[in-house]
Amino acid sequence: MRAAGYQLRLACQALGVSRSGFSQYRRAPVARALRPRPDNEALTTRVGTIVDREETFGTRRVWA
């Protein structure tokens, strides 16, 4: 932002985001790239098995 000549405070205000949220967004791609990624097909099968149970699971329990 600053390299383009914009003040970070004004740019965030115009976009309707917080400065801390913008900073987290800027750091997120690096953090995601370092995170190990499971095989998508195996993960899809596993989540499908959990969801197909008769019990009710919310997103937090499926994620766990």
Q: What is the mean pLDDT of the chain?
A: 77
DSSP single-letter state for residue 5: T
Please list the alpha-helical segments (H only) found in 3-54: 8-15, 19-34, 40-52
Listed residue (46, 39, 38, 42) closest to 62, CA to CA: 46
Domain boundaries, the chain: 8-63
Whether the predicted model's global pTM rises above the 0.85 cut: no
**How many other C-beta atoms lie within 10 A of the C-beta of residue 42?**
9
Measure the CA–CA gap between 47 and 39, rounded to whole angstroms.
12
**What does the pLDDT look like over 10-32, one tens digit per residue?**
888 988 989 998 888 777 777 66
